[in-house]
Structure 1
């Protein structure tokens, strides 16, 4: 794949973007699925109580808050992401508003661009549905994290469409440090 990327880079940015888009489309298509994310009931309760208290200021309804936290944990775990990182991304992207729409047209909690529905052959998916949005957003972030060799700042910038800049990744890191951190994440450059 790196050799192909090198050849396409010589052809121009449009070809490289097209190859990356196809790789991400294939990755999403093969990885959106459901599973349980907690290994143990005690771990689930501890995490849910802790995160629920942190999220209460933004989502006052306890049942809705706990359901959303379960969904976030499951989607993050399926994508090999830190659930706390996903919480920070959601805070920055939509401030936990499932109906948020950006100026560019990105939708839902993780601000997923609607063209991805057609790209992966699921045009009827509803990006304001939390489960759908979280699956798309987490898998897209997982893809960029792998592509960027685990470097969070670069992966987050790619996720946001601001590659080469630190503004977005710095916002996510700040949200993570101030509100969601439970364990260390490698924020190295």
Structure 2
């Protein structure tokens, strides 16, 4: 199984595997909750626990992303936004990076054959469904906000089953290829262990 996952990872490393979320009618309560989630303004501040954690994570993820996004300022802004939106939605930021790698290859203006757009390949029907037709899915933070909110929604529907939630996100529910590729990218490319630091000792 590990060899299969590694092989799938190599296949997706250089090519996006974008799909398309399927339109499903939403209950009024779910629609209202999702509308609120994508409408909240981004508050000032950081999603990191402290400046040291921020520096460690951003430095490591920036190094890994440098070949795909050479502009350091934009790369750091993207990573800060990923961490913020993923954390806000209760998702692992490294999982979101793995999904972005598979869905768009980190191409801001990627458009799939089904019309999914941006880094996280969000389908345009979500704009109308959530009552925000003026939103641009090519805007960095808007795309991440929608993508993370939608994945959280699917996780909730599937009671935390990541395999099925990823299948819903890609429009390939029940097929193993996409969830396995996202997991492989997550584990092989973006897995992160917080550095351990010696405990400070007083004098």
- Give TM class, smaller chain: 0.7 to 0.9
| 1:30 and 2:36 matched | yes
Q: What is residue 123 of structure 1 aligned with on the other side?
A: 133
Query: CA contact under 8 A between 1:24 and 1:140: conserved in structure 2?
Result: no
* Superposition TM-score, scaled by structure 1 size: 0.83
Q: Would you say 1:98 and 2:105 are equivalent positions?
A: no
Cα offset for 1:121?
Answer: 1.0
Q: Which structure carries more relative contact order (alpha carbon 8 Å, separation 6+)?
A: 2
Q: Does 1:40 align with 2:50?
A: yes
Structure 2, unaligned runs of 5 or more: 1-22, 194-203
Q: Which residue of 1 aligns with 2:197?
A: none
Which whole-Å deviations, capped at 9, do the CAs of 1:31-70 have from their partners, x for residues lacking one?
Answer: 1222431121111111000100111111111111101000
More helix by share: 1
Q: Would the aligned equivalents of 1:84 and 1:176 in 2 still touch at CA under 8 Å?
A: yes
The correspondence for 1:79, drawn from 51, 72, 89, is: 89
Give 2:25's aligned residue: 18
Distance change in 2, residues 1:125/1:79 (3 Å)? same
1:170 to 180, 183, 189: 180
Residues 27, 164 of structure 1: alpha-carbon distance in 2 compared, 3 angstrom cutoff: farther
- 1:67 equivalent among 73, 77, 82: 77
Equivalence for 1:6: none
